[in-house]
């Protein structure tokens, strides 16, 4: 399989082919996902919770993401690799450029950052400097203290409209992918339809252009809380490789996520 490119993902949206994404943090799992044909691997700051044992993503550093990006990039030869810019690593445009460059040198093909309108200048600057950008709206875990917890976003009309406008502004600024997390199905469907770029959902229903899960949630091995939008594919198969194949199959045929994994 040739290396997945952003143009390939854009074509998949145009042709109504679902995009499958999953988090990866090490060489072994990255190789499994890559071989299974998962299009996108995310080195997420979720590692702060699932690997480091914190109760949020806030303690994660750029060095942490850089280390795990190198590990994933060593074996993932076909999947597109996205790396998170962690909490307060993109507070200013200059800081954003420096930290994004660090992750790109580590093996990322794209960086992801959380937020809306305030990021427009940084997004434009990254794209001008040759760094592709993935946006992230809805429940943005780095803002958990502002939200007062991990809550569904966009249920109120004014909040939903703000998310739509932020999504359009980020697209205009140059993002080439957007992750929507924990938003109502109807809102996610609207944003996916109105944007020209692929929209990847997590807890956003099945009408987005693709899905992403934290790998520990997809295998049912996260410590403690398992989010409503996730599904344990490992318990259905008893084998990690078959679980990955089942996840990919159900995303592609639209059976995952179902209504029980979605918000309204």
Supply the residues annotated as catalytic.
181
Asked if residues 17 and 55 have their Cβ atoms less than 8 Å apart, the reply is no
What tokens does 210 get?
């693709």
Q: How far apart are CA 226 and CA 216, in angstroms?
A: 9
**Half-sphere CA count of 223, side-chain side, radius 13 A:** 11
Q: How far apart are CA 72 and CA 108, in angstroms?
A: 9
DSSP 3: P
What sign results for the dihedral spanned by CA atoms 203, 185, 178, 78? positive
Q: How far is CA 26 from CA 157, 200, 210, in A?
A: 41, 22, 23
The closest of 154, 245, 142, 244 to 191, measured between CA atoms, is 154
> Is 155 in a helix, a strand, or coil?
coil
Q: How far apart are CA 83 and CA 43, in angstroms?
A: 5
Q: Which residues are registered as beta bridge partners of 76?
A: none
Burial of 14 per CB tally in 10 Å (0-12, 13-18, 19+): exposed
Q: How far apart are CA 164 and CA 162, in angstroms?
A: 5
């Amino acid at each position: 399989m040739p290396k997945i490119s952003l143009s390939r993902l854009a074509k998949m949206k145009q042709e109504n082919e679902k995009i499958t994404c999953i988090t990866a943090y090490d060489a072994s799992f990255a190789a499994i996902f890559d071989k299974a044909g998962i299009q996108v691997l995310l080195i997420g700051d979720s590692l702060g919770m699932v690997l480091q044992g914190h109760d949020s993503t806030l303690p994660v550093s750029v060095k942490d993401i850089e280390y795990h990006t190198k590990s994933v990039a060593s074996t993932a030869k076909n999947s597109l690799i996205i790396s998170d810019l962690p909490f307060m690593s993109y507070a200013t445009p200059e800081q954003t450029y420096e930290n994004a460059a660090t992750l790109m040198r580590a093996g990322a093909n794209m960086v992801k950052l959380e937020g809306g309108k305030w990021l427009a200048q940084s997004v434009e600057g990254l794209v001008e400097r040759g760094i592709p950008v993935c946006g992230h709206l809805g429940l943005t875990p780095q803002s958990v203290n502002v939200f007062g917890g991990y809550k569904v976003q966009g249920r109120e009309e004014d909040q939903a409209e703000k998310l739509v406008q932020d999504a359009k502004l980020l697209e205009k600024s140059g993002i080439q992918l957007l992750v929507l997390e924990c938003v109502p199905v109807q809102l996610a469907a609207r944003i996916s339809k109105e944007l020209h770029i692929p929209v990847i959902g997590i807890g956003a229903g099945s009408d987005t252009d693709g899905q992403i899960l934290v790998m520990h949630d997809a295998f049912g091995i996260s410590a403690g809380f398992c989010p409503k939008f996730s599904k344990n594919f490992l318990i259905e198969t008893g084998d990690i490789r078959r679980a990955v194949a089942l996840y990919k199959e159900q995303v592609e045929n639209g059976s995952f996520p179902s209504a029980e994994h979605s918000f309204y």
